């Protein structure tokens, strides 16, 4: 996971929302492509945790394909109600499947930032 961000910002109607973002980067050095699937995503704070949606609009798994010898980046995002005030510290944790092997990825600890 290359970066993550937790931003509180107003929506089109002016109501606050929290946008979570994680950017993943990788490549495969093998001769065949590798599929990366996010199995589970959770946002943790000191007192709370929230499971995040990891499926597409049609119910398909959130997967991306990495071709051989080609670096690639992809972004995962989620929009949440304003449950945590700015300054709340949190972390994103992902259970992923990389070519049949399960791995756990964790973001750096960050704080919810207010964007005007």
Q: Domains in the chain, please, with CATH?
A: 3-111 (2.60.40)
The pLDDT, as a whole number, for residue 12 is: 85
Among 73, 78, 74, residue whose Cα is nearest residue 92? 78
Task: Indicate whether 57 pLDDT > 80.
Answer: no
The structure tokens 């995962």 sit at: 76
The pair phi, psi for residue 34, each rounded to 5°, is -125, 135
Read off the pTM: 0.84
Check if the beta carbon of residue 45 is closer than 8 Å to that of residue 88. yes
Calculate mean pLDDT across residues 101-110: 93
Task: Say which residues have a Cβ less than 8 Å from residue 75's Cβ, sequence separation at least 6.
Answer: 21, 22, 23, 24
The pLDDT, as a whole number, for residue 110 is: 93
Q: What angle is formed at CA 78 by the lines to CA 73 and CA 83, rounded to 5 degrees?
A: 145
């Amino acid at each position: 996971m290359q970066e993550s961000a937790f931003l509180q910002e107003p929506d089109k109607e002016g109501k606050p929302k929290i946008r979570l973002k994680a950017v993943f980067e990788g490549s495969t050095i093998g001769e065949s492509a590798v599929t990366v699937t996010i199995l589970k995503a959770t946002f943790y704070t000191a007192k709370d945790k929230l499971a995040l949606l990891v499926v597409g609009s049609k119910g398909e798994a959130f997967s991306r394909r990495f071709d051989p010898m080609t670096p690639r980046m992809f972004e995962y995002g989620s929009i949440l109600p304003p449950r945590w005030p700015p300054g709340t510290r949190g972390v994103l944790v992902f259970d992923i499947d990389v070519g049949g092997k399960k791995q756990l990825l964790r973001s750096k600890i960050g704080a919810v930032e207010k964007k005007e």
